[in-house]
Structure 1
């Protein structure tokens, strides 16, 4: 999955696969997580958010299944 660099103190890159609805987040710590069944609109909102980290915490963490890769 191709990831795109983002401006964030905690997140380095974000990727999204629309076919599988998988969101991939690479944190500055080097940890890589995949979030599953994420609608395209959530990805769009994440990438347009003023704070990517705040959006992730408020709208994605705890709302979607995930796995550390």
Structure 2
């Protein structure tokens, strides 16, 4: 999945596939996670958030099933 670099102290890049609802996040630690069944509105909210790390913690983490890729 193609990811877009983001300005964040915690997140490095974010990718999203609207047809499947898969959100992929690479963290500054180089870990990569995929989150499943994420609505487009949550992805748009993340990309528009002033603090992407806070948005991730409050609106994505613990709400969507995920797996670690790396």
Runs of 4+ deviating beyond 4 Å: none
CA distance in 2: counterparts of 1:50 and 1:30, whole angstroms: 21
Instruction: Give 5+ residue unaligned stretches, structure 2.
Output: none
Provide, for residues 33-62 of structure 1, a one-character-per-residue CA deviation record: whole Å limited to 9, x for no partner: 000000000000100001000000000000
Query: Number of residue pairs matched?
Result: 69
Q: Normalising by structure 1, report the TM-score.
A: 0.98
CA distance in 2: counterparts of 1:32 and 1:18, whole angstroms: 18
Instruction: Give 5+ residue unaligned stretches, structure 1.
Output: none
Q: How large is the Cα RMSD of the aligned pairs?
A: 0.4
Aligned residue for 1:34, secondary structure, equals: strand
CA distance in 2: counterparts of 1:50 and 1:9, whole angstroms: 12
CA distance in 1: counterparts of 2:50 and 2:8, whole angstroms: 10
